[in-house]
A and B are shown apart, each in its own frame.
Chain A
Amino acid sequence: MTTKAQELSGWEYSLAPETTKIDIEQKNKLFIQGKFVSPKSRSWFSTINPATEEKLADVACAGKADVESAVTAAKKALPKWSRLSGSQRAKYLYRIARRIQERSRELAILETMDGGKPIKESRDVDLPLVAQHFFYYAGWADKMQYAFPGANIEPVGVCAQIIPWNFPLMMAAWKLAPALACGNTCILKPAETTSLTALRLAEIMQEVGLPEGVVNILTGAGETGKLLAEHKSVNKVAFTGSTAVGKSLMRSTAGTGKKLTLELGGKSANIIFADAAIDQAVEGIVSGIYFNQGHVCCAGSRLFVEEPILDEVVSKLTHRLRSLRVGNPLDKNTDLGAINSQEQLDTVERYIRNGTEEGAQLHEIHSERLPSKGYWCSPCFFTDVQPSHTIAREEIFGPVLSVMTFRTPQEAISRANNSPYGLAAGIWTNKGSKIFEVAKKLDAGVVWCNTYNKFDAASPFGGFKESGFGREGGMQGLRPYVRLQNQSRRAK
């Protein structure tokens, strides 16, 4: 039976939560010398789901004695691991990559539960990149001599690797994969709020039979990281996180001969020229600043729009913002999940207040679907922002965009470069020659032209100026994890 000329219209999406259940250990121990061990510190902290504020588990907090054990394990494992042939090391890394692919759904769900990022992103962005990173660097392990022509290559040694909470597993992969490929042994320190997936990675290390002590994972807070970085048997410190901590690491390692790489903050410029494909540029703005709730060091948080198209861009951006869905990160249709912690939410909210107080105009779309518990921030942007405003200068690390204008390419370049940071930049124009000229003149380690926030294991990532030094990804990503023989005479 059919109703005649029935006029259907309108449509809403139903809830689409990820339903796979994940078992979570209640007590998550440290991973040292190939085993899960209770912390000698006897100290534990709880990790919560930022979308529900519910406690997920207890996590060990590594203290001085634990750091000592882990460094000893890594040091002990070093000679054998570094002398293993490249092709053998490669196979371990390939195995890790495969196991990550096999366990990727579980890992994605856990990443989302512990960190608050939308399942869509952990599933479609983080996990594929994690696996790709291990695959990519696996292949380098027996080809190092082609990456550094003319040099004799040695691993650096014991690496302390301290990572942030915005891409927990991906940052672990960025650190571990090149280090292991080059023959180093590692102690990884995940961020306090996002330890759980790193410990699953430890399980994978066990599953693939990685020799004991090659990878050790120490959970804990900032103090654990500090102890680790300052340990005298550590030969290399790799850190991703805030510029302030990066600077203090630079001071604490000064004169020690420790090799250091830092991947720090940013206030990246996204520049839209009037001749750009504007509808696509708006997509680029959105993926530039709202990807992962804006918890992205290379977020395009300063938008520079050529004056004649300001109104058009603002109007299209406003329209686009309405289709962004904020809420339960485990819902497959969620575009923006939870802010990672109460502390970070306070920071973001403080910047938003500050922007308004300094006279900028706030544009926000309030979502009606926000749960009552959890840490939430609706995506927003400011217009009437002056380059001197705090929101135009400081890294917010949240879904908050500052919109400014420029009149000429030269002005765009100089405004973009007027920052102590230099991590990334975006350029949108239909003119090829302009792209290359502007890309050349921007102080940024990654320049996305007519795209934004693209990552790939084969593509180096890292900053200029106070955004840090050293590259992760690509052939250049090997450089921080080797000593070239010609440099072995350097001051120790």
Chain B
Amino acid sequence: MSRLTVPKTYKLYIGGKFPRTESGRSIAIENQKSEIVAHICHGSRKDFRNAVESAHKAFDSWSGITGYLRGQILYRMAEMLEGRKEEFAAAIQVTQPVTNAVARKEVDASVDRLVTFAGWTDKYQQVIGCANPVAGSYYNFTIPQPQGVVVAIAPQSPSLLGLITCIGAPICSGNTVVALGSEVHPITTAIFGEVCQTSDVPAGVINLLTGKNKELLEHIATHRQVAGLYVANPTKKNRTLLEEGSADSMKRVHCVAFDESDWYDNAVTASPWEIEPFVEMKTIWHPSAC
């Protein structure tokens, strides 16, 4: 008699913990043969609220540490993901009809993407900030500062690389993130929390939700504690809804329309101009005299 396997229970990742959704709902995930292989948490409005609370709590310390240290932590995430390549490649293949080689390519790109953002943590400031030669006796400079809690709505595919890109851009500058993973390929999102948890990312910096985005969009748009949105490939209707709802608290909304190949291209998705939408430029004046 063959051994009975022990399947993983997929949960949310909020505040460094792995809670089940408070709603008790789940979504069955079918493999390519239409067999139910897993149940994914169907996150709710309250899960989202809790995730924002956690992200908000984590913001002061995450934005307060040095860029160098954030870089170390992001690099550690890359190391941990590298070590679990096979698991992630397999997770990709559960819902996607791709070869192992293709799945591994996405995981490799995801690891590399984390390394790219790890490197940006203490450099993007020098690219987008500057000293300003004002016409007077003042020392004047402009520096970027993170916005706060950013909600990232990842693309449907590539599910892992897209998720990591949407998270990496905001967190490398010190924002904290609540990410909504791919709805159709959610398993990578559900297990990515384990990478976060084992790689020194402080609790609350990254929060991961799975479920149905549609029921959360309005709450995302109108939550006043959310400072910015990274929205991958929105429909016109969703974009309108998010931008309209964002008006009240003046969220910074960054919508991108990247195709599959864009996600693999660092120059497109990991340039400083993709970090810049999640920072505020602060200009400081000080007189210069004895």
Are B236 and A461 neighbours in the complex by a CB distance under 8 Å? no
**Interface membership of B121, Cβ < 8 A:** no
Complex CA–CA separation, A450 to B242 (angstroms): 40
Tell whether, in the assembled complex, residue A254 and residue B240 are in contact, meaning their CB atoms are under 8 Å apart: yes
Q: Is B256 an interface residue (CB 8 A)?
A: yes
Any A CB within 8 A of the CB of B69: no
Given A458-B135, A459-B285, A475-B130, do A469 and B252 touch, yes or no (CB 8 Å)?
Answer: yes
Mark out the residues of chain B between 230 and 266 whose CB falls within 8 Å of any chain A CB in the assembled complex.
Answer: 233-234, 236-237, 239-244, 246-250, 252, 255-259, 262
Asked if A151 contacts B240 (CB within 8 A), the reply is: no
The distance from the CB of A422 to the nearest CB of chain B, in whole angstroms, is 8
- Please, how many residues of chain B have a CB less than 8 angstroms from a CB on the other chain? 51
**How many Å from the CB of B79 to the closest CB on chain A?**
27
8 A Cβ contacts from A434-466 to B = 435, 439-440, 444-451, 454, 456, 458-462, 464-466
Measured in the bound complex, the distance between the Cα atoms of B283 and A489 in whole Å is 31
Query: Of B250, B267, B271, which one neighbours A262 at CB under 8 angstroms?
Result: B250
| Alpha-carbon gap, A440 to B144, bound state (A) | 10
0 or 1 for each of B269-290: is its CB under 8 Å from A? (1 = yes): 0011110100011111111000
Contacts of B250 in A (CB 8 A): 246-247, 250, 262, 465-466, 468-469
B68 at the interface (CB under 8 A from A): no
Q: Does B142 have its Cβ within 8 Å of any Cβ on chain A?
A: yes
B residues near A149, Cβ cutoff 8 Å: 127
Q: How far is the CA of A160 from the CA of B127 in the complex (A)?
A: 29
When distances are taken between beta carbons in the complex, the residues of chain B under 8 Å from A251 are: 243-244, 247
Task: Determine which of A132, A246, A445, A486 lies in contact with B281 in the assembled complex, contact meaning CB atoms within 8 Å.
Answer: A445
Chain A interface, number of residues (Cβ within 8 angstroms): 51
Q: Contacts of B227 on A, CB cut-off 8 Å?
A: 465
Give the residues in chain B near A387, CB-CB below 8 Å.
none
Main secondary structure of the interface of B (DSSP, over half): mixed
Given A450-B286, A460-B281, A476-B281, also A250-B273 (CB < 8 A): no
| Interface contact B286-A459, CB-CB below 8 Å | no
Given A445-B280, A490-B257, CB of A255 within 8 Å of CB of B132: no
Chain B's nearest CB lies how many Å from the CB of A418?
A: 14
Residue in B closest to A443 when the chains form the complex, CB atoms:
B280
Is A250 within 8 A of B136, CB to CB? no
Residues of B within 8 A of A451 (CB): 138, 285-287
Contacts of A56 in B (CB 8 A): none
Chain B residues positioned under 8 Å from A439 (CB to CB): 282, 284
Are B236 and A476 in contact (CB-based, < 8 A)? no
B256 touches which one: A246, A440, A454, A489 (CB < 8 A)?
Answer: A489
B133 at interface (Cβ–Cβ under 8 A)?
Answer: yes
- Distance in angstroms from B265 CB to nearest chain A CB is 9
Interface assignment of A484: CB less than 8 Å from any CB of chain B: yes
Closest to A463 in B: B280
Is B283 in contact with A435, judged by CB distance below 8 angstroms? no
Complex-state Cα separation, A250 to B271, whole angstroms: 27
B135 close to A447 (CB less than 8 A)? no
When the two chains form the complex, which single residue of A449, A466, A486, A490 contacts B284, counting CB atoms closer than 8 Å?
A449
Is B145 part of the contact surface with A, judged by Cβ < 8 Å?
yes
How many Å lie between the Cα of A148 and that of B134 in the bound state? 21
Q: Are B132 and A458 in contact (CB under 8 A)?
A: yes
Given A255-B236, A450-B286, A491-B234, A474 contacting B142 (CB threshold 8 A): yes
Given contacts A247-B248, A450-B286, contact A255 B145 (CB under 8 A): no
Given contacts A254-B240, A454-B136, contact A462 B273 (CB under 8 A): no
Contact A448 B285, beta carbon cutoff 8 Å: yes
Q: Which residues does chain B contribute within 8 Å of A422, judged by CB atoms?
A: 280
Point out the residues of chain A lying under 8 angstroms from B133, CB to CB.
Answer: 458
A487 lies within 8 A of chain B by Cβ:
yes
B102 within 8 A of A: no
Q: A456-B140, A459-B132, A465-B250 are in contact. Are A491 and B255 (CB under 8 A)?
A: yes
Residue of B nearest to A248 (CB): B247
Q: Is the CB of A490 within 8 A of B244?
A: no
Q: Smallest distance from the beta carbon of B156 to chain A beta carbons, Å?
A: 15
Inter-chain CA distance A248–B248, complex, in Å, is 9
Contacts A489-B258, A491-B233 hold; do A449 and B286 have CB atoms under 8 A apart?
yes
A254, B132: Cβ atoms under 8 Å? no
Is A150 positioned at the interface, with any CB of B under 8 Å from its CB?
Answer: yes
Q: A447-B285, A491-B257 are in contact. Are A458 and B273 (CB under 8 A)?
A: no
**A471 in the interface, Cβ–Cβ < 8 Å?**
yes
Asked if B243 contacts A447 (CB within 8 A), the reply is no
* Contacts of A284-337 to chain B: CB distance below 8 A: none
B-facing residues in A228-252 (Cβ within 8 Å): 246-248, 250-251
CA distance A262 to B253 in the complex (A): 13
Q: Is the CB of A486 within 8 A of B271?
A: yes
B268 within 8 A of A: yes
- Cα A243 to Cα B237 in complex, Å, equals 25
CA distance A474 to B282 in the complex (A): 12
B178-195 contact mask (Cβ, 8 Å, vs A): 1 or 0 = 000000000000000000
Given the known interface contacts A150-B271, A255-B244, A458-B133, the answer about A489 and B281 at a Cβ–Cβ threshold of 8 Å is no
B287 in complex: contacting residue of A255, A450, A474, CB < 8 Å: A450
Chain A residues whose C-beta falls within 8 Å of the C-beta of B237 in the assembled complex: 255
* Contact between A445 and B283, CB atoms less than 8 A apart: yes
CB distance from B165 to the nearest CB of A (A): 13
B residues with a Cβ closer than 8 A to A are: 127-128, 130, 132-136, 138, 140, 142, 145, 147, 227, 233-234, 236-237, 239-244, 246-250, 252, 255-259, 262, 267-268, 271-274, 276, 280-287
A-B contact pairs, 6 of them (CB 8 A): A255-B237, A422-B280, A451-B285, A465-B249, A486-B268, A491-B236
The 10 closest A-B pairs by CB, nearest first: A255-B240, A254-B243, A250-B247, A456-B134, A254-B244, A449-B286, A491-B257, A247-B247, A458-B132, A251-B247
